[in-house]
Amino acid sequence: MVKLLKAKEAAEQVYDSVRSKVERLKKEDVHPHMAAVLVEGDPASLYYAQAKQKTAEKLGVAFSLHTLPSHTPENEILQLITRLNDDPSVHGIMLELPLPGHLQAGCITAAISTLKDIDGVTPANKLAVVTGEAGLYPATPQACIQLLKHYGYNLEGKKVTLVGRGQTVGLPLFHMLQRENATVTVCHSRTPDLAFHLGHAEIAFVAVGRLHVVKGAMVHADLTLIDAGINETEEGKIAGDVSPEAAMVAAALSPVPGGVGTLTTAILFQNLMKAISLQSKEAHRK
């Protein structure tokens, strides 16, 4: 029977650490504050932003949600980002994605202060993931690795297949896996035989964002699967990139929901704590 790698316990450990740091920071008269920028148009984005707000309240973190109409011009969003960058009471900034079609996500994310970029989307933080230098790394790739480690898996020397090379998860995850000394094969839409590469893997990370792209026939009984996909089914439910048939065959699997996504939210707040530390170091340099 497949072992389910649920993230609730791992997430609670992160939250406990964050709570302790928040309490210590408040004693030093630092009040952690996360700001989210939401351009209306995607109901799921609003749901996720509100979920983060509820989590922030539980952790004692201030949370401001800046909601803008769907027709808001890009220059107004950039002005808001600049105000948040310049506001010393704001320690972390998130841009909720996706954006309406008239907006350029790359231009807007690049405007976020590198030291407040808790989602790891700015060019400088993307480069830090590649080089391994200090920075704010994207939360989902961190969650993928942290979840495995929570269950005692060691990536060093392991044969790993990474399915997906997207900017948000796949590409940064590849660089993080390299630093874990895994032997990584990257598969994508042009890979002719995904089953072959999964067949030779001990661990696989799937981050395509396509419902049930990994089929049962592609999986073997010794494979550990980390599913980072989030998709909506025809019934309106949330499901991952791994099919139910594949889940029945594999040795272990992170469920969707209840797996990587659960830990990702916790790591956003972990990144907020790191952002405050980086900002403090920068302030002492000046």
Q: What is the mean pLDDT of each run of 10 residues along the chain (286 residues)?
A: 94 98 98 97 87 96 97 97 98 94 94 97 96 95 98 97 95 97 96 96 96 95 96 88 94 96 96 97 81
What is the enclosing helix (H) or strand (E) of 283?
helix 260-285
Q: For residues 251 and 156, state if they share a domain.
A: yes
Axis crossing angle, helix 139-150 with helix 8-27, rounded to the nearest 10? 120
Q: For residues 210 and 176, state if they share a domain.
A: yes
Backbone angles phi, psi at 201, to 5 degrees: -95, 150
Q: Is residue 48 part of a domain?
A: yes
Instruction: Return the pLDDT at 186.
Output: 97
Residue at a domain's end among 100, 115, 130: 115
Number of domains the chain contains: 2
Q: Is residue 286 part of a domain?
A: no
Q: For residues 68 and 143, state if they share a domain.
A: no
Q: For residues 165 and 203, state if they share a domain.
A: yes
Closest CA relative to residue 202, chosen from 158, 241, 242, 243: 158
Which SS3 state, helix, strand or coil, does residue 36 take? strand
Q: For residues 109 and 144, state if they share a domain.
A: no
Closest CA relative to residue 21, chosen from 266, 188, 209: 266
Enter the tokens of residue 141. 């790739």
Q: Is residue 214 part of a domain?
A: yes
Q: Is residue 85 part of a domain?
A: yes
Q: Is residue 8 part of a domain?
A: no
Could you give the CA distance from residue 106 to residue 247 in angstroms, rounded to a whole number? 35
* pTM, to two decimals: 0.93
Could you give the CA distance from residue 172 to residue 128 in angstroms, rounded to a whole number? 10
Give the count of beta carbons closer than 10 Å to the beta carbon of residue 66.
18
Instruction: Return the pLDDT at 22.
Output: 98
Instruction: Return the pLDDT at 96.
Output: 94
Q: For residues 148 and 257, state if they share a domain.
A: yes
Q: Residue 85 is part of a domain; what is its CATH number?
A: 3.40.50.10860
Burial class (CB in 10 A: 0-12, 13-18, 19+), 214: buried
For the segment 124-177, what is each residue's pLDDT rounded down to a tens digit? 999 999 999 999 999 999 999 999 999 999 999 999 999 999 999 999 999 999
First-to-last C-alpha distance (Å) of the chain:
57
Axis crossing angle, helix 260-285 with helix 43-59, rounded to the nearest 10? 60
- Domain interval for residue 241: 139-261
Instruction: Return the pLDDT at 243.
Output: 95
Closest CA relative to residue 259, chosen from 170, 157, 148, 162: 148
CB 267 within 8 A of CB 143: yes
Q: Is residue 219 part of a domain?
A: yes
Within a 13 Å sphere around the CA of 15, how many CA atoms are in the beta-carbon half?
18
Instruction: Return the pLDDT at 86.
Output: 97
Q: Is residue 169 part of a domain?
A: yes
Could you give the CA distance from residue 8 to residue 258 in angstroms, rounded to a whole number? 7
Burial class (CB in 10 A: 0-12, 13-18, 19+), 190: exposed
Instruction: Return the pLDDT at 248.
Output: 93
The b-or-e profile of 110-119 (16+ CB within 10 A means b, else e) is bbbbbbbbbb
Q: Residue 152 is part of a domain; what is its CATH number?
A: 3.40.50.720
Q: For residues 180 and 85, state if they share a domain.
A: no
CB 191 within 8 A of CB 197: yes
Q: Is residue 193 part of a domain?
A: yes
Q: For residues 109 and 148, state if they share a domain.
A: no
